[in-house]
Structures are given as structure tokens and as C-alpha cells.
Amino acid sequence: MTDAGQIVAALRDMASVKSLSADEVNDLMRDGIHAGLARIYGPNVEAEIGIDDLSGDIDIIVLKRVVDEVEDEATEIQLEKARWDDPGYELGDVMEIPVDFTQFGRNAVMATKQRIVQRIREGERNRIREEYLDRVGELLSGEVQQIERGKIVVMLNRSREAEAIIPWREQNPRERFRQGDPIRAVLKKVDETPKGPRLILSRGDPLFVAALFNLEVPEIYQNIVEIREIAREVGGRTKIAVFSRDESIDPVGACVGLKGSRVQAVVSELGGERIDIVPWHPDTEIFARRALAPARVSKVISDVERQVITAIVDEDQLSLAIGRNGQNVRLASQLIGWQIDLYGSREWVERGSGTTLFQGSEDGYEMADFPLEELNLDAEVLSALKTAGYKSFIDIIDLEKGDFLGVAGLNEEAATKLVGLIDELTVVESEPAPPSVPALEAEPAAGAAGAPAANAADAAEVADVAEVAEVEAAAATATDAEAPSGDEGTEDAEGSPEPQDGEDAEKAEV
């Protein structure tokens, strides 16, 4: 049967495109021919269909039972008609009727074609469903096929027959694509529709950022570095918290890469979106400090029952902590999963929550306690300190070298290293320089107004100093007016004129 051989050859060509095996092709052919026979003999027809894989010949035999009275013409034949073909037939015998493929009319051929196409589509849908149902969160690449009513239709590189779209809500508003542009997106979910599975892709979901880092950072792909938390505002900013299972690998440095090469590749794919990478920590207070980066937090108070973090920052850090339109603090709250109440130091003091927020110089060095594990200490030293009852930095901040030597398990080298770490991490206020003559004008007045004198003698002393300062200030003004410009005194580090003779020096001391 030449025609049948051509049909089988065409089906095999289609099977190679659709990734079907030889057995699946034969099953498709049998099912399609059976549908054509049902159109000729009836829906209950029984047949034996044989297909030769080498020659492509098709043998079709319809089976009918010999009966006295026919109730179903598709499966039964009358005894008299059966004996026309062979007089040896008896009741209950099964008559085999060979059917040539050329006997199929137009309706039978169309039924065969429809059944084969339907089976192929069902196989494609099942294969797509099985392939992508377990790949949610993976990065897929393809080509923009068309853009209709805001959604992007994507033709995937691996499964071109799969229906994949990027809805408007899953797109980055800062990005624009045209037909034919290459595109990458993360598989968010697989929807079931009457036409089969539909792949919903996304470029606006936080999973897209995680998938890009998984592609660019080998340590994340190897599960050495893990992305624990991620918060994103599409087109604006993203914060991710990373954790390393290997203490020798810095999770933040692994994500940033050499000269920022890895994170820059992710930023380029996101269209210039800013990315903050912070180390994850199990302690919520420490995690909140890191999540508010790049702002420097001075104090953190946590309410475990309400899951609220109260963060206090210096005034020059307040706008940085809030971010544009509250973006930084909002993303930090999403990252840690707690509500964050942010206060400036001035507002916090005005609310009556007077606690010492800052300690150190005017540069805003923060005073914060943290576990000793965050210091670069050996395991033996940490164990010895914990055994002695020292668990945090505040516990050891006032200890001297002799105190450390008294701890069991600490030697001379460890004690020296601990003292050096304390000196490095603490800031001691420098002693104020002696006030110059003009500076005495405001200081006594401020002292008299700010804090009352302890007794009458102190009050009188303050008044005398104020009076002397006024007289000396007037004298200094008159001297400056009379002195020529070339004889003016040079300014010291505080910006005040140096005394020109011994008499001025005595007045300054008074």
C-alpha cells in the first residue's frame, strides 16, 4: 500500500519534530485508523490493525460475530451473509473481514486525521505539564513572539509549542520589548486552561532576581551560599539577605563578585534597578540593623509579642534610612518580616524615651551590643569566654589584659588580641581644649541657665566669671580695633586669637 507507506513516513517525520518514539507513532496510527473504521462501520467496531515498521504497510481486519439476528451491525453479521463468503461458518464464529486502506472515504480519512492531531496535542500538553510543573522558580529564555493588550507572548527556546505569556502585572514598567527581542523570565506558575497548560512567566517577581543570582553566582548554584530573604519593588530597589554555609566564604562578596562583576550583570538585566545585599542573621535586632543599610542605626528595640522593631538613627542618617518615598524602610520591613518604626534621635528624646543613644565623638559612632561570635576569634577563645560568663561585647568592654589572663584557657597572645579588638571597636571622647577668651562669653551664661549652682558660692563664682569675661571681651575688641592689620594674632585650631602677652594669658586663665 503505497499511500499507507507515505502516510506512515509523514507521521514519522512529524514524530521526530514532536519528539515522539516509534511505539507512540504506531499507537497514534492505530487509534486514528480505528476512528476511521468507526465512521464506516459504527462506533462499536472491533478491528485488528497491524503496521509493518520496515515497509510501512498497514493490515486492517474487522471482526464480526456470526449471529442469527443482528442487533449491532458494527460487531455482528447474519449467518446467511457469512455463509456467502464461507459456507463453513456456524453461529458464534468470528468472521474476519479484511479492509483495504483505499476503501476509506473522505469522512473516514478526516476522522483519522482529527484523531491523530488530537492525540498529538494531548501528548504535547501532558509533556509540557510534566516538564514545567516542577520547574517553578527557574529561569527560562525565549523570544518575544507578539505583544497583545499589554501581555507579552513568549516562544520558548526549548518548547516552542508551549503557551507562555508575561502578564502586564508581572512586567517591569521601566522595560520595553519588541517582537523578536530575546527575553528571559522566571516561571511563576502553570495554569490549566481548556486549551491546555499555560506558563505564566514573570520579570517583576522577587523570584526573578533570585534566579538571576543563581545563574551568575556559582556559590548559590552549588548551595554554598543561600538567599534566605528577598524583598523587591519592581523598577526601584531590591534587598536580599544571604547566608553562607561555609564560614570561609563571604556571602556578600560572593554575590558582588570581583569589582562588582556579578551584581552588575544582574543590575543590567533588571534595567538599572538598585540592589542591596546584606548578610542574614538569626537575631532579629541585628538583622534589622543590617536590613536598614546603607543607613547606620544607633539603637534597636524589639517587641517580640507584637513583632515590632523600633529603630533610632541619628538625624543625618534619618533621610537615608527612610529612603525615597519610604522605600528603604519599607523594603527592610518586608525583608525581616517585622514592622519597623523609625525615629530620629531628636524625635525619640522629645517623646520622653530618654536613653543614651550615642556614645563617642560627634561623628555619630553608635553604641551597640553584639554576640562575641561576630568577632574574629578562635573557637577556643570563644569557648573560654563563654565558660567564664562573657557572652557579648559589652560584657568584656571594660576588662583589661590582666582580667583576660585570669580567665581559664586564655594565654598571653589571646589576651593581647582581645585588648586590641576592644581598643579598635571603641571610641573614647577626647578631652576638650581650654576655652579661648571669646568663648567665655557664652559658656557661663549657658551654665547658669542650664543647671542651677549647687550653693551660693558657686553662683557668685559664675557671676564673677561672666563679668570678667564681658570686660575682657570689650578690651579685646578695643585692642583689635587699635592694632594694625599686620600685628594681628594668628588663629589656633579652635579659631580664636592667641594671647599676645602675659597679661592676656593671665586673664584667659581667670
Per-residue pLDDT tens over the stretch 3-17: 556 766 776 677 677
**Residue 471 scores a pLDDT above 50:** no
pLDDT for position 470 = 42
For 468-484, letters b (16+ CB in 10 Å) and e give: ebeebeeebeeeeeeee
Exposed, middle or buried by CB within 10 Å (0-12, 13-18, 19+), for 454?
A: exposed
Domain boundaries, the chain: 2-129, 133-202, 220-334, 372-425, 438-509
DSSP structure class, residue 1: -
Helix (H, G, I), strand (E, B) or coil at 191: strand
Closest to 196 (Cα-Cα) out of 127, 272, 249, 101:
127
What would the CATH number be for the domain defined by 372-425? 1.10.150
User: Letter for the amino acid at 33?
Assistant: I
pLDDT for position 56 = 66
Q: Is domain 220-334 given the CATH code 3.30.300.20 in the classification?
A: yes
With beta carbons less than 8 A apart as the criterion, state whether 332 and 290 touch: no
- The confidence band for 183, taking pLDDT boundaries of 50, 70 and 90, is very high
DSSP structure class, residue 432: P
φ, ψ (nearest 5 deg) of residue 343: -135, 145
pLDDT for position 406 = 83
CA distance 121 to 95: 36
- The confidence band for 387, taking pLDDT boundaries of 50, 70 and 90, is confident
Of the listed ranges 221-225, 226-230, 423-427, the one predicted with least confidence: 423-427
pLDDT for position 1 = 43
Of the listed ranges 190-204, 246-260, 392-406, the one predicted with least confidence: 392-406
- pLDDT tens-digit series, residues 310-363: 999 999 999 999 988 899 999 999 999 999 999 988 888 887 654 444 443 333
φ, ψ (nearest 5 deg) of residue 372: -70, -20
Which architecture does CATH list for 133-202?
Beta Barrel (2.40)
- Kindly give the residue spans of alpha helices, DSSP state H, lying in 276-425: 284-291, 315-322, 327-336, 345-350, 379-387, 393-396, 401-405, 412-425
pLDDT for position 167 = 93
pLDDT for position 334 = 93
User: Letter for the amino acid at 320?
Assistant: L
Exposed, middle or buried by CB within 10 Å (0-12, 13-18, 19+), for 54?
A: exposed
- The confidence band for 26, taking pLDDT boundaries of 50, 70 and 90, is confident
Closest to 375 (Cα-Cα) out of 359, 362, 387, 393:
393
DSSP structure class, residue 260: G
Average pLDDT, integer, range 214-229: 94
CA distance 488 to 471: 20
- pLDDT tens-digit series, residues 132-172: 988 898 999 999 999 988 899 999 988 888 889 999 999 98
pLDDT for position 495 = 38
Per-chain mean pLDDT for the chain: 77
With beta carbons less than 8 A apart as the criterion, state whether 48 and 33 touch: no
Cell numbers placing 398: 571594660
DSSP structure class, residue 177: -
In which order are the strands placed within the sheet that holds 237-244? 225-233, 237-244, 274-279
- The confidence band for 420, taking pLDDT boundaries of 50, 70 and 90, is confident
- pLDDT tens-digit series, residues 59-113: 888 888 888 888 888 788 888 888 887 788 888 888 888 888 777 888 888 888 8
**Residue 507 scores a pLDDT above 90:** no
pTM reported for the whole predicted model: 0.58
**Sheet strands (E) in 236-338:** 237-244, 274-279, 297-303, 308-313
**Fold (topology level) of 2-129:** N Utilization Substance Protein A; Chain:P; domain 4 (3.30.1480)
**Residue 500 scores a pLDDT above 60:** no
CA distance 277 to 266: 12
Query: How many Cα neighbours within 13 Å face the side chain of 466?
Result: 14
Cell numbers placing 167: 502578564
Average pLDDT, integer, range 211-233: 94
pLDDT for position 373 = 75
- pLDDT tens-digit series, residues 450-467: 333 333 334 333 334 334
The residue with cell 538583622 is 287
- pLDDT tens-digit series, residues 236-291: 899 999 999 998 999 999 999 998 999 999 999 998 899 999 999 999 999 999 99
The residue with cell 593671665 is 506
